[in-house]
Amino acid sequence: MKGANFVMHAAKGEIFDVDFEKVLSDYKLYRERFSFGGMEYNKAGPTINDNCVGCGMCYKACSFKAIEPDGDKYKVNTNRCDDCGDCQLVCKFDAIDESKEF
Ligand code: SF4
Ligand code: SF4
């Protein structure tokens, strides 16, 4: 066979770009998920739930700068989160739910 065509009807994927030297930006990871053809996916990273009391411990613990203020609470920026789990280790209020499968 000399040639072949490859057609993809549906897929999901992730762009994962790390800059550990922080040369190019003030954060070290850019992450973006995408899909086409009707496929669905979950966003990256854990989710901060209603138990959050806004203590800021997760914000201080996240070396990826992926936790941001959200009013008097906090939220995870899924485009910067590495899923390292450090925020869950420091939260004393059971306010950070596990990441879902891709
Ligand atoms: S450590 Fe827990 S309670 Fe404190 S701000 Fe983060 S999610 Fe909220
Ligand atoms: S899992 Fe890691 S990178 Fe993601 S928000 Fe928590 S501490 Fe930051």
On whether the CB atoms of residues 18 and 84 are closer than 8 A, the answer is: no
Say how far apart CA 28 and CA 2 lie, in whole Å. Answer: 44
48 CA closest ligand 1 atom index:
7
Q: Where are the alpha helices (DSSP H) in 1-102?
A: 57-61, 86-90
Q: Whose CA is nearest to atom 1 of ligand 1?
A: 91
Does the beta carbon of 66 lie inside 6 Å of ligand 1? Answer: no
86 lines ligand 2 (CB under 6 A): yes
Q: Which atom in ligand 1 lies closest to the alpha carbon of residue 53?
A: 3
Does 75 contact ligand 1 (Cβ within 6 A)?
Answer: no
Domain 47-97 has CATH 3.30.70.20: yes
Per residue of the chain (102 residues), what is the pLDDT tens digit? 677 888 999 999 999 988 767 666 677 899 999 999 999 999 999 999 999 999 999 999 999 999 999 999 999 999 999 999 999 999 999 999 999 999
68: left (phi over 0), alpha (psi -120 to 50) or beta: beta
Q: 91 near 57, Cβ under 8 Å?
A: yes
- The residue assigned the tokens 């009391």 is 53
* Full-model pTM: 0.88
96/89 Cα distance (integer angstroms)? 9
